[in-house]
Structure 1
Amino acid sequence: MAKENDTLEVEYHVKREAFASLKKELPARIPRFIYDSGLVFEYPDAIRGIYVTGHSAGGGRFNDLVSLVNKTDLNAMVIDIKDDWGNVTFKPEESSPYAKIGKDYIKDPMKTLKTLEAENIYPIARVVVFKDSVLAKEHPDWSFKEGDTVWKNGRNESFVNPFLKEVWDYNVGIAIEAAKMGFQEIQFDYVRFPEGFELRDDELIYSQGDFQNSSEDNIQKRVEAVTSFVKYAKEQLEPYGVKVSVDIFGYTATLPEAPGIGQNFSKISKHVDVISSMIYPSHWTSYFGISKPDLEPYKLVTEYAKVENNTLAQLENPPISRPWIQDFTATWLGSGNYKVYGKKEVEDQIKALNDQGIEEFLIWNAGNKYTNGVDYTP
C-alpha cells in the first residue's frame, strides 16, 4: 500500500508540473468568442458621419454619398436598418422572424457593406426602437391603447412599450442581424417613451411589465425601463464585437431626467460606447440665454457642449461624445426665427464642438442632401 501511495504521489507532482508549464504558455485571459462577419473596418481617428436612409443606401443616391465622403473628411455613414415606421430596410431570409417586415429598400445589403469596406467608410446601423407603428399594429398589447385602439400621436405614429421585455428582444434581434452582416456599430434611436407621456400616462392602457412592482414613481419607472433596455441591449450585443450608441435629446444633459420620456443622460451614458445628443439648433426653444437658437449655431452648440462635458466628466467611464448637428433649414420656425443653413452654419457647429474638445459628430439631413464645399475639420 505504501508503494502504491508513493506512485500516486509521484504522478500527482508530474501532472502538477506539467500543468504549471502549460499554464505559462497560455494567455493570461482567453478571449471570449466574438462573431466574425468577414468584413474588416478600422475605427477612424474620429467619426465624422452622415445619415443615410434605406432608400438612399439602396438607390442611385448611394454612389453620390460615397463620393461625398471620399472627397471630404467625412468617414462614416449611419444607415437605417429599422426605420421610423418599424420596417426593416432589407429583405431578411424567409426563415427570419423579421421576414414579413422586410422591405427591399436595400436590395443587397452585403454589396452595400462591401462597398463601404472597399472605400474605408465606417458603417453604423440605425435601429429605431420604441417608435414603431408596424409592431404596434401587429401587437396592440405591446403598445399603448386608447380604449380599444392603438394610440397615435399628432403625426399618426404609434409607439411600443419600453416596459416590455418582448419589445426589447424584438429590437435586439434586429440589431444582431445588422451586427452579423458586418455593421461595426448599432445606433439605437427613439429609446424613449412618446413625448409628453407624463400628460397621458394615467389615461392610456398599457402594461408596466416587470416594473409594475417597483417602488418608484411613474417618472422613475420610465427612467428605469429605458435605462434597463440600453443595459440589456449592450450585454446581448457583446458577442458580436460591435459598439453600441444611443441617440438622445440634447436637453436631457441639462436636466436630472426628462420626466415624460424616461431619458436620463447620465444613466444611459453608463451603458453605451457612444452617446449621440441631438443638438440641432432649430430644435431648441429659448435656452442658454439664447432667444432664437437657430440663428446662433456656434453659440448654441458651444453652450450645450460645456454642459455635456461637465456631465460626462462626473462619470467613471464616460462614453465617446458624438452629437448630431444639422444641415437643413428649419423654415417651420417662421420668419425671423430661422436662417438658411449652408457651408458656414454647418462649419460653425463643427467648430463649436471642436473648440470644446469634442471631435466626433454626425450630420442630419432627412433627405440626405448635404451642403457642398463644407470643411468638416474647420
Structure 2
Amino acid sequence: MPSARMNPYWIVGIVSATAVTAAVAIPLSMPDRADVAVLGLPGAEVSPTALRDVVIASPRGYDGLSAALNGEPLPLRRDGDLVRPDIGELPEGGHTLVVTPPPGLFGEGEPARVLFRVDATPPELDVYPPEPVKRGTAGEIRGTAHGAVTVSAGDEQVRPNEDGEFALPIRAGLRSVTVTARDAAGNTAIQEVPVALRHPGMRAVHLTASAWASPTLREPVLDLVREGRIDTIQLDIKDESGQIGYASQVPMAQRIGANTGLYDARAALELLHSEGIHVVGRIVAFRDPVHGRAAWEAGEHDQVVQTSGGSAWSGGYGDYSFTNFADPEVREYNIALAEEAAELGFDDILWDYIRRPDGDVSQMVFPGLDTSPEESIATFLAESRAAIHRHGAFQGASVFGIAASRPTQIAQDIPAMSEHVDYVAPMVYPSHWGPGEYGVEDPESQPYDITARSLAEFQDLARQNGHSKVIPWLQAFSLRVPYGPDEVRAQIEAAEDLGIDSFLLWNAGCRYDPRALAPT
C-alpha cells in the first residue's frame, strides 16, 4: 500500500474500482479553514458590550486555546461546543484581540488577530420641525445626523450625505414619527417628532342646528356650495343654549337632557360629504346653561362658575350660564362631545366660548382652579386636541377680537392657545370695535381697515407657537351700519391681502347674500 503523509485536517482511505487502487484524502474541514475563528463581531466599529456576542471556534479543539486583549490574557469559558471571552464593557478606542489555537500535530497553529474600535457615542441627531402635511399628501422630515450611517422613520431608511444631512418622507395622518439615527457601532439616537396636519383652508358660513333642519335656510346655503361660492359649512353641535343639535350618545348629554334631535348627524354628514363639503362642528364649550342648571340642582356646584358670595354666576347671560372650565367633569363632558363628533365624521371641531365669563374676575370663583384662567383654558385645548386628532379631525378655537391685546380680560392667551390648535378663529367683526381701535376712526364704517389691522396682530401672535393658522370670523350681519355684499367683500379682501384665504361668515339668522361671495 502506498504511504501517505498525515495532515491533521485529513484522513486517508483506500478505494477500489475496476482493478484500480488509489489513496484518497477526505477532508474533515475545508482546506482553507483557519486554525481558529472569531465570530460575532459585527464590524470594525462596535459597541462597548460587543465581546458579549463573540464566540471562538477551532477545529483543533479547545485544550490549550488562549486569548489576549490588548496584550493581556483574556479569560475564556466554555459554552457548549464553543468558547466565549469573559469580559464586560470595553472603553472607547482601539482594541486588539488575539486568539491562539491549541498546538497541532505539526506545531503551532496560526493565531487569529482582530482589530476593532469601540464606539459608545451615539450620532448627533437634530431633526428640524416638519412643516404640517396636508391630508392625502406626503410630507418630509429633514435634519442632520452626524456620525450616523443610516436614519430611519417607520419603513423608510436613508443614508445621510457627507454633511450628515438627510430627508425622509412622511405621510399625512401620523400624529408623530420616531426618527432613529444609527452609527456603524450600533449606537442609536432617537427622537419623537410630532407631525401636524395642515388645515386645507375654508370659505365657510355658519348654520345652526335649527337652520339645517329648515329647508328654507338649508337649501340656499347648499346652493352657495354648488355655485362654488363656499366650500365649507359650519354646523352647530352644542350651541349657546347648551342644547345639542342631534341625539348624542354621550351619557351626560342624555342624563341632563341636552339632546334635541333637530337633525340626524350621520345623515347630514353623509349628504354634505357627498357634495364635497368640508364640515366644521361648532361646540360652545363653557357657556352651557343646560349643564350648569343640572349640575347646580344636583348639588355639584363646583361644575359652575360662582360669585364670591357663593351663588351661580349669571353676568347678564342668565341663570347657571357658565360652567367651570377648571372642573374635570366639565372638561370631560365637552371633550366627550368633541370626540363623538369627530368619530361621526365632522372634519373640524371648532370651540366657541372657550373662555371665562367677561366681567370682573375678582368677583368670580372657579372651584379647583390652581393656575391662571388663561393657562387653564390652554391646557383644556391640549387635552382636547389629542382626542380630536385621534379621529382625524382638526381643532380650532373661536376667540374674541380683543384677546389679541387684552388676553386676561376673558382668559384667551393667543400664543398659548395657538400651540394646541390647528387654527384660531378671531371674531374681528367691525361692529364690535370701539372708535380709534388700531387707529381706525370708525371701525364699523371701515370694514377693510379694521379687519386688516386686527388680523395682522393675530397672525403675529399665532406664529409665536407652532404653525397655527388664522381663519377669521367675518361679519355678515348689520348692527348700526347696514352690511351688504360690499362690506362683506371688504373684509374678505382685507384677509386675502394678508395672505389669509380662509374665512367663516357669521349671521345669526343664517341668511347669506351670494353677491358677497365670488365663485372660485
User: Distance between the aligned counterparts of 1:43 and 1:123, measured in 2?
Assistant: 16
- 2:459 is aligned with 1:309: yes
Aligned positions of 1:221-240 closer than 5 A: 221-240=372-391
Cα deviation for residue 111 of structure 1 reads 1.1
Cα deviation for residue 316 of structure 1 reads 4.6
User: Distance between the aligned counterparts of 1:250 and 1:168, measured in 2?
Assistant: 24
Q: Counterpart of 2:334?
A: 171
Q: Counterpart of 1:292?
A: 442
Q: Counterpart of 1:340?
A: 482
Cα deviation for residue 260 of structure 1 reads 3.3
Whether the 8 Å CA contact 2:211–2:218 is kept in 1: the answer is: yes
Q: Counterpart of 1:320?
A: 469
Give the stretch that moved more between structures: 118-127 or 24-33: 24-33
Aligned positions of 1:141-160 closer than 5 A: 141=301, 142-146=303-307, 147=309, 149-156=311-318, 158-160=321-323
Aligned positions of 1:76-115 closer than 5 A: 76-93=232-249, 96-99=251-254, 100-106=257-263, 108-115=264-271
User: Distance between the aligned counterparts of 2:312 and 2:459, measured in 1?
Assistant: 40
Whether the 8 Å CA contact 1:197–1:261 is kept in 2: the answer is: no
Q: Counterpart of 2:128?
A: none
1:272–1:45 Cα change, 3 Å = closer
Q: Which amino acid aligns with 1:365?
A: N
Q: 1:249 aligns with which of 400, 408, 421?
A: 400
Q: Counterpart of 1:12?
A: none
Give the stretch that moved more between structures: 164-173 or 63-72: 63-72
Aligned positions of 1:3-14 closer than 5 A: 4=80, 6=82
User: Distance between the aligned counterparts of 2:198 and 2:379, measured in 1?
Assistant: 27
TM-score by length of 2: 0.59
Whether the 8 Å CA contact 1:86–1:135 is kept in 2: the answer is: yes
- 2:508 is aligned with 1:360: no
Aligned positions of 1:188-227 closer than 5 A: 188-198=351-361, 200-201=363-364, 205-209=365-369, 211=370, 214=371, 221-227=372-378
User: Distance between the aligned counterparts of 2:349 and 2:500, measured in 1?
Assistant: 21
Q: Counterpart of 2:478?
A: 329
1:296–1:164 Cα change, 3 Å = same
1:265–1:133 Cα change, 3 Å = same
Higher-Rg member (1/2): 2
TM-score by length of 1: 0.81
Q: Counterpart of 1:374?
A: 516
CA RMSD of aligned residues (A): 2.9
User: Distance between the aligned counterparts of 1:167 and 1:236, measured in 2?
Assistant: 15
User: Distance between the aligned counterparts of 1:307 and 1:43, measured in 2?
Assistant: 21
Q: Which amino acid aligns with 1:52?
A: L
Cα deviation for residue 374 of structure 1 reads 1.8
- Equivalent residue pairs, number: 334
Q: Which amino acid aligns with 2:306?
A: K
* CA offsets 1:275-323 (integer angstroms, 9 cap, x no match): 100000001112012232111101111111222233234x252311100
User: Distance between the aligned counterparts of 1:198 and 1:3, measured in 2?
Assistant: 75
User: Distance between the aligned counterparts of 2:199 and 2:419, measured in 1?
Assistant: 23
Percent of residue pairs bearing the same amino acid type: 25
Cα deviation for residue 2 of structure 1 reads 4.9
- 2:279 is aligned with 1:123: yes
Whether the 8 Å CA contact 1:350–1:376 is kept in 2: the answer is: no
* CA offsets 1:44-93 (integer angstroms, 9 cap, x no match): 85310000100112221222211122213210011110111111111134
Q: Which amino acid aligns with 1:309?
A: Q
- 2:210 is aligned with 1:55: yes
Q: Counterpart of 1:218?
A: none
1:208–1:291 Cα change, 3 Å = farther
User: Distance between the aligned counterparts of 1:26 and 1:159, measured in 2?
Assistant: 45
1:167–1:355 Cα change, 3 Å = same
Aligned positions of 1:252-271 closer than 5 A: 252-253=403-404, 255=405, 257-271=406-420
User: Distance between the aligned counterparts of 1:312 and 1:206, measured in 2?
Assistant: 27
Give the stretch that moved more between structures: 120-129 or 45-54: 45-54
**Secondary structure, aligned partner of 2:397:** strand
Q: Which amino acid aligns with 2:155?
A: P
Structure number having the greater helix percentage: 1
Q: Which amino acid aligns with 1:208?
A: G
Cα deviation for residue 136 of structure 1 reads 0.6
Cα deviation for residue 198 of structure 1 reads 1.9
Whether the 8 Å CA contact 2:476–2:506 is kept in 1: the answer is: yes
* CA offsets 1:304-345 (integer angstroms, 9 cap, x no match): 1222233234x2523111000010001xxxxxxx32111100
1:351–1:145 Cα change, 3 Å = same
Q: Counterpart of 1:275?
A: 424
Q: 2:223 aligns with which of 59, 67, 77?
A: 67
User: Distance between the aligned counterparts of 2:486 and 2:314, measured in 1?
Assistant: 38
1:139–1:25 Cα change, 3 Å = closer
Q: Which amino acid aligns with 2:331?
A: W
- Higher relative contact order, structure no. (Cα contacts within 8 Å, ≥ 6 residues apart): 1
1:377–1:280 Cα change, 3 Å = farther
Q: Which amino acid aligns with 1:362?
A: L
* CA offsets 1:74-120 (integer angstroms, 9 cap, x no match): 10011110111111111134x744223110211x2111111111111
**Secondary structure, aligned partner of 1:288:** helix
Cα deviation for residue 5 of structure 1 reads 5.4
**Stretches of 4+ aligned residues off by more than 4 angstroms:** 5-8, 28-34, 42-45, 146-149
